[in-house]
Structure 1
Amino acid sequence: MPYVFLLGAIAAEVFATSLLKSTEGFSRLWPTVACLTGYVVSFAALSQAVKGVQVGFAYALWSGLGTAAIVAIGAAFLGEPITFVKVAGTALIILGVVTLNLGGAAH
């Protein structure tokens, strides 16, 4: 069950972050409400996930997969360019998450 919460936390964080631009600096009410609700749901689900998995593991997946998803969403839906540096940086983040998780499993 912790992994279900973790996946929910990642999905809610990606949802919230993808709405940030539409809030226009939190000056638009409904996008702001949806964005902040997404973050609250994300942190609530993450707090439930860490009851059953290590905090470092959960946070690495939450932040790493969230970052990779937001880069993809930015490129696909927000007109952000895909550059070599973005791809390399995202790959390094994913490699870091994998490395942390493999290192954690050995202990």
Structure 2
Amino acid sequence: MFMEKRELFKAWFFLICAIVFEVLGTSFLKMENIVLGYFFMAVFIGFSYFFLSKAIKKIQVGIAYAVWELLGVILILLVSFIIFKEILTLTQILGIVCAIAGIILINIGEVRE
């Protein structure tokens, strides 16, 4: 039982790493030096997929992908708002809230093996 929880915790840690690397990679696309931006984007997205592949060993692929995609989008929106001074509209904020509610419902409904 303890080992199973430890493995699940490790899988969620890998998923969080995948999300962070995805956000880093996407953020580098805003660099003025396009070649360097693409290089760092490719490296970080590669790490993201590596960690995602580790996460789906213990987390259902649909759940992992949904969480990865949603949290990645939310973090990218926050990065664009805080670092790049882009504006979030009320509609975008409402969409984020709905997406978070959806992910919560998906996780609640996950069938555990």
CA contact (8 A) 1:23 1:32 kept: no
Bigger CA radius of gyration: 2
**What TM-score does the superposition give when structure 1 sets the normalisation length?**
0.88
* Percent identity between the two aligned chains: 31
Query: Is 1:9 aligned to 2:24, yes or no?
Result: no
Q: Which moved more, 1:14-23 or 1:40-49?
A: 14-23
SS in 1 for 2:31: helix
Q: State which drifts further: 40-49 or 28-37.
A: 28-37
Aligned residue in 2 for 1:100: 106
1:40 alignment partner AA: G
- Aligned-residue offset at 1:30: 1.4
In structure 1, the residue matched to 2:30 is 21
Could you say which residue in structure 2 is the equivalent of 1:70? 76
Task: Give unpaired runs (5+ residues) of structure 2.
Answer: 1-9
How high is the TM-score relative to the length of structure 2? 0.84
Distance (Å, rounded) in 2 between the aligned partners of 1:23 and 1:49: 33
Give the superposed CA RMSD.
1.7
Ranges in structure 1 where 5+ consecutive residues have no aligned partner: none
Partner Cα distance (1:59, 1:86) in 2? 21
